[in-house]
Structure 1
Amino acid sequence: MGWTMNIIDKVIGLVSPRRAYERKTYRDALRHYDAASMDRLSSDWQPAYGTAEQLATGSRDIIRGRARAAEMNSDLAESAVIALLRNVIGAGIVPQAKVRNRSGKLNSELNKKIEKAWAKWAEPENADIRGISSFYELQEMALRRMVYDGEILVNKTSQGSYLPLSIQLIEAENIGAVSITHGKNNIINGVEVTEHGRPVAYHVSQTDPMGLRSFDTVRLTTEQAFLLFKPKRPSQIRGVSLLALVLRRIHDIDEYMDADLIAARVAACFSVFVTSQNSGRQAALLPRDKKGRPNITMAPGMVRHLSPGESIEFADPKRNAGTASEYSATQTRRIASGLGMSADIVARNISGNFSAARQNLLEDQKTFRQVQKFVIRHFCMPIWKAFIDALYLAGELPSDYLANKDKYQEVAWLAPGWSWIDPVKEVNANKEAIKSGLTTLEDVCAASGRDWEEVLEQRKLEQDKAKELGVLLDYSSELQPLTMGDDDTTKEGADG
């Protein structure tokens, strides 16, 4: 076919070169992606060219300001963010020290000592440079600001605590907006980066609580501070509000619902207008209020005779409540999906059947786990490492710490879990999974936000107390002590 078309093209070219050119042009036009077409229907579809910072620099501040306005005034935006905070942070993501001794076993004594020191440091008077928020409240605040503002700068300062460590959260507008060359590095929107785009420092302006900003800036190295944000492109250096994708839709639905509310209020007022074809002579005879306006009253079942030439008209604001409800539900679903959540959890409205609700919850939990991992990796871990360093500087850790930092900084983070939808089925499934070795008690407890060691310790206390009081606890299984026989007996038991 290609050879035949070439012959045809050549013949047309000999007869009419212009027609041959047009033929080739139209054929080439059919070979591009539909998404790249520039026709009447796509003329207002503007492509986004440039690096992440080129595209975001002119919009970042406006988006952040509008997101904060939504935080203050939009119940829908706040409901979505609260759902995220409630499921990701909850009462707090709690660390468990996992230092091991030379034999590879957990060093229980040292781990308890570290966790006790952490519990003291995590209180507001130590964790927060302002002395207002606990570490777990700082977790929530940092994630909230990352969602609304797109970023938050976390400064690890040596002031404000009995240990040489406190946390200072610095808001996005304090990061300088300058983009200049700084030695071999470049400063792009206040972030100093290497030629490969690796951050090495943040240039921060000083402001008081009322927002009065100093022209002097402070250079905070990445050893002192880190910028918490969720990059979407390799060239992205600063964050953009995570609500940017749905912010316009949130504003539109808020405006729509306000307009519908006004229409409902007008309809509830049942406004009546009296019109007259006569001059003002009859109107002058009507009783009037203190401001001189005609005073006409209405009462249930009242029959009022009008003067000749007068008639009554009723205000009829066109309003369809069903349309408003459908529009609200549709837009809420789109907003929720843009944030990676279901509309059920955003609007707190479980309207589907059990299977649909369960599937939505499972998908939501995937989103929450992903965010939990992000918070642990990029917020909790840098602070934990700084805390362990501070413990060493305070003389609370062994002298070999500097040579074995990784060993002493081992930690597991216990994030909040979720309640079971069908407890009977899920408990039985977990029991079988533990028996078959597919999971562990630690994993099962962690999924519900509990410490497996604390569960066992509490269970032992309950068993001992029940035995002391002569109460029988209805446990499905009891812990049995291990008894060791001779080798033959042990082998026989293993084989049998």
Structure 2
Amino acid sequence: MNIIDKVISVFDPQRAIDRVLAREALRQYDAASTDRLNSDWQPAYGTAEQLATGQRDIIRGRARSAEMNSDLAESAVIAVLRNVIGQGIKPQAKVRSGKGKLNGNLNAKIERAWAKWTEAKNADVRGLSNFYELQEMALRRMLYDGEILINKTAQGDYLPLSIQLIEAENIGATGMQNGKNNIINGVEVNEYGKPIAYHVYQSDPMGMRSFNTLRLTTDQAFLLFKPTRPSQIRGVSHLALVLKRIHDIDEYMDADLIAARVSACFSAFITSANSGRQIAMMQRDSKGRPNMVMAPGTVQHLRPGESVSFADPKRNAGTASEYSATQTRRISSGLGMSADIVARNINGNFSAARQNLLEDQKTFRQLQEFVIAHFCMPIWRAFIDALYLAGELPADYLVNKDKYQEVSWLAPGWSWIDPVKEVTANKEAIKSGLTTLEEVCAASGRDWEEVLEQRKLEQDRAAELGVLLDYASELQPLTDDEAQQQEGDEG
């Protein structure tokens, strides 16, 4: 009933009722119905930040509780981390010479510098985690907390760069405005809602906040979160949709365990018409409590006036497994994964397993691309900048940044379900030009250049020892002219 109906109801209640009924009759969408069956269906009005403010912290706290106490929640997150990050998403420098050929010498130099910088003492401002461990930690916090702030500090002995991860609760509003920019939940945005800076509380490792705040511009820091609405500027835990269901299944399993313990208790109760006299005559244990000994094959005679009854606690046995499986499937689907990969329980035939694997891989590839674009690339650009400041790149870097920052990322791949079929298909696809060796190797998480180098090393060593390798084809070495031309292109 809107405000007009309320005003009319004061003077003519029947007419107000007729208006409401007529409006309901004109509704064409069941989803817009407000009848008795939908009375508890609350709509969500407002921008993303209006809906999340006041609830984001509660959801994050409950998600962290699940992280510490729920094996199901941790299993789902570990499945994502294992498939998206694995041993790390690693870069391959792709700087090209003036003729468009890959500059092998410079790329190798950049990758050697990267390998050194990724060590914990260089990449992490605290010196505890290497870069690939920071990758995993950042994604873990984004899944549980919804967001993580990455600060590119100028600290570092090897290069003027190290990474600081700042947890979500340290991002807070220090005011409503900074000049013409609004500050919403600690994020300073311009008139278009574009983040300009992050206002961060200073705190010690125990979480004790000081009154000092720090303004980190988006050139220095970036917030890793996956927005789902145009108005969203802060993240919400990725477990928010399934968090209550995870809690329910944990509570159900605990309740089922208690019920099993209670049903396992065997108790007998003796009642007597002359309880005082009979109890005084009963045998007693070491603590003076009356007891009755029962053993297999024993026939126990009761005294006159006594009767015996047994406790029979009821338990709905056999439903826990079905309930757990059903809820696990719903939780997994809500996170975009199959229940098999979350519960680590592979069932079904080859076709079903392959279909689940392919669908899961689509989810993981999307997340890999997100991590590469929003976490790896900003840090790679900062690394190349730091490498130039250290005097390790040519002088024309500032006018050719895009050229020197070219890179491809090698993400973890997946093993084949049927290797013979997959290898045969890939071989034919390469021969027909539908794919490349680089794409095939990348799909399994390997570097195609390293594969060729290792294969050449094995063939040379086998020839030296006089061992025949059962290869369908042999690598063909370059001629002297081709080798000289390649060296000239790389130079």
Q: Return the TM-score normalized by structure 1.
A: 0.90
> Is 1:348 aligned with 2:348?
no
| Aligned with residue 69 of structure 2, among 66, 69, 73 | 73
Q: Which amino acid aligns with 2:246?
A: I
Summarize the alignment of residues 237-276 of structure 1 with structure 2, pairs less than 5 Å apart.
Answer: 237-276=233-272
Partner of 1:339: 335
Contact 1:178 1:188 in 2 (8 A): no
Partner of 2:190: 194
Q: Which segment drifts farther, 145-154 or 297-306? A: 297-306
Query: What is the aligned residue count?
Result: 466
Summarize the alignment of residues 230-379 of structure 1 with structure 2, pairs less than 5 Å apart.
Answer: 230-379=226-375
Partner of 1:423: 419
Partner of 2:162: 166
| Aligned with residue 467 of structure 2, among 468, 471, 474 | 471
2:400 match: secondary structure: helix
Q: Distance in 1 between matches of 2:79 and 2:254?
A: 23
| Aligned with residue 440 of structure 1, among 418, 429, 436 | 436
Question: Could you say what the CA RMSD is over the residues aligned between the two structures, in angstroms?
Answer: 1.9
Q: Which amino acid aligns with 1:222?
A: T
Percent identity over paired residues: 83
Q: Distance in 1 between matches of 2:175 and 2:75?
A: 37
Q: Distance in 2 between matches of 1:392 and 1:271?
A: 79
Q: Distance in 2 between matches of 1:42 and 1:136?
A: 49
Q: Which amino acid aligns with 1:348?
A: R
Q: Distance in 2 between matches of 1:139 and 1:448?
A: 20
Contact 1:155 1:167 in 2 (8 A): yes
Q: Distance in 1 between matches of 2:19 and 2:53?
A: 44
Q: Deviations over 1:28-67 (max 9, x none)?
A: 7334311011010111110000000000001000000000
Q: Which amino acid aligns with 2:411?
A: A
Contact 2:173 2:183 in 1 (8 A): no
Q: Return the TM-score normalized by structure 2.
A: 0.91
Partner of 2:377: 381
Q: 1:59 to 1:409 in 2, by over 3 A?
A: same
Q: Distance in 2 between matches of 1:156 and 1:475?
A: 48
1:275 match: secondary structure: strand
Contact 1:385 1:409 in 2 (8 A): yes
Deviation at 1:177, TM superposition (A): 4.0
Q: Distance in 1 between matches of 2:407 and 2:104?
A: 13
Partner of 2:140: 144
Q: 1:217 to 1:480 in 2, by over 3 A?
A: same
Q: Which segment drifts farther, 32-41 or 66-75? A: 32-41
Partner of 2:43: 47
Partner of 1:4: none
> Is 1:404 aligned with 2:374?
no
Q: Distance in 2 between matches of 1:248 and 1:179?
A: 34
Contact 1:179 1:189 in 2 (8 A): no
Partner of 1:210: 206
Partner of 2:216: 220
Summarize the alignment of residues 36-115 of structure 1 with structure 2, pairs less than 5 Å apart.
Answer: 36-115=32-111
Partner of 1:491: none
Q: 1:298 to 1:184 in 2, by over 3 A?
A: same
Q: Which amino acid aligns with 1:215?
A: F
Q: Deviations over 1:293-335 (max 9, x none)?
A: 2233333333322223333333333223321111111000000
Deviation at 1:22, TM superposition (A): 5.4
Q: Deviations over 1:55-80 (max 9, x none)?
A: 00010000000000000000000000
1:400 match: secondary structure: helix
Q: Which amino acid aligns with 2:217?
A: T
Deviation at 1:481, TM superposition (A): 5.2
Q: Which amino acid aligns with 2:129?
A: S
Q: Which amino acid aligns with 1:57?
A: T
Q: Which amino acid aligns with 2:124?
A: D
Deviation at 1:178, TM superposition (A): 5.0
Q: 1:128 to 1:23 in 2, by over 3 A?
A: closer
Structure number with the bigger relative contact order (C-alpha 8 A, sep ≥ 6) is 2
Contact 1:79 1:347 in 2 (8 A): yes
Q: Distance in 1 between matches of 2:301 and 2:184?
A: 78
Q: 1:285 to 1:222 in 2, by over 3 A?
A: same
Q: Distance in 2 between matches of 1:197 and 1:274?
A: 76
